[in-house]
Amino acid sequence: MINTERCIVRCFEEKDLDSFMTYRNNDEWMKYQGFKNLTKDEYRESLLVPFDLEVGAQLAIVDKVTDGLLGDIYLCKEEDEISIGYTINPIYSRKGYISEVLKGLLAKLKEDYPSCKIVATTEKENIPSKNLLLKLGFVYDGWEDQWQEEVYIYWSLMSLYYLLIVYFRWNMIYFNHDKMVSCRKVFPAFLHIITKIRSDYMDTNTPKTNFWNILCASTPYKI
């Protein structure tokens, strides 16, 4: 379904189940995730099914050369929102596989479903997952009480740049700034805001607010 430099994302096959169970039933590795500690038959019933994005689909991440299972991706589309989840086998962690696959997946989802919002959730203690989401262009959007997890929404760099332009023009209108927005001021402000957002999200003692509030409050630049 998706090809990257080193990986293929495809539907699960019978031969993947033993490797899947190895990491999915590892309590320490899976402490931040659900869908674990099941029998092989239970996994088979859930995984070896036709792909259906509306119902929710677990997809295998496999090595392009060996076809060995590296990890998995979860996708589910509900109306105009697509939720994603991801897991890597610990023996393949910190090798960039998940980052590589998610970059390709996000581009594909944006191409196929341009009007949909792409959402990921993670527990607040799961710092590696937060770092990955921020690196890929996700931003913090609030706390989900039902799942007791933080919610992150994907924004491309161009989308963030567009929001900055909107913000600066709003400043000009409501604060009587009559000068045109210049690249000389936009780009330093852009870098400052992204750095500030990243810092605030990684600081667990910082009260979390939605992305728009942080965007409007974080820049020291005046146009």
DSSP string for 142-206: EEETTTTEEEEEE--HHHHHHHHHHHHHHHHHHTT--SPP-HHHHHHHHHHHHHHHHHHHH-TTS
Domain co-membership, 86 together with 123: yes
- 124, 139, 154 - which closes a domain: 154
Residues 6+ away with beta carbon under 8 Å from 217: none
Rounded Cα distance, 107 and 98, in Å: 14
Pick from 112, 154, 159: nearest CA to 132: 154
Rounded Cα distance, 90 and 220, in Å: 42
Domain co-membership, 40 together with 148: yes
For the entire predicted model, the pTM comes to 0.73
pLDDT of residue 144: 81
Domain co-membership, 34 together with 126: yes
Domain co-membership, 115 together with 161: no
Domain co-membership, 166 together with 148: no
| H/E run at residue 131 | helix 127-136
> Side by side, which strands form the sheet with 57-63?
2-3, 7-11, 57-63, 69-78, 81-88, 117-122, 149-154, 138-144
- 154, 172, 193 - which closes a domain: 154
pLDDT tens for 167-200 read 555 555 444 444 444 444 555 555 555 555 555 4
pLDDT of residue 220: 44
Residue 152 has pLDDT above 70, yes or no: yes
The mean pLDDT value for 26-30 works out to 94
pLDDT tens for 49-93 read 999 999 999 999 999 999 999 999 999 999 999 999 999 999 999
Domain co-membership, 171 together with 150: no
Residue 98 has pLDDT above 90, yes or no: yes
Rounded Cα distance, 215 and 190, in Å: 10
Q: In terms of C-beta density within 10 A (0-12 exposed, 13-18 middle, 19 or more buried), how is residue 73 classed?
A: buried
The range of the structural domain enclosing residue 162 comes to 157-223
CATH code at 45?
3.40.630.30
The count of C-alpha atoms lying within 13 angstroms of the C-alpha of 157, restricted to the half-sphere facing its C-beta, is 6
Domain co-membership, 140 together with 109: yes
Domain co-membership, 12 together with 92: yes
- 136, 154, 172 - which closes a domain: 154
Domain co-membership, 142 together with 195: no
Residue 164 has pLDDT above 90, yes or no: no
Residue 202 has pLDDT above 50, yes or no: no
177 or 33, which is more confident? 33
Domain co-membership, 41 together with 108: yes
Domain co-membership, 48 together with 145: yes
Domain co-membership, 126 together with 35: yes
Q: How many domains does the chain have?
A: 2
Instruction: Provide the residue type at 103 as one letter.
Output: K
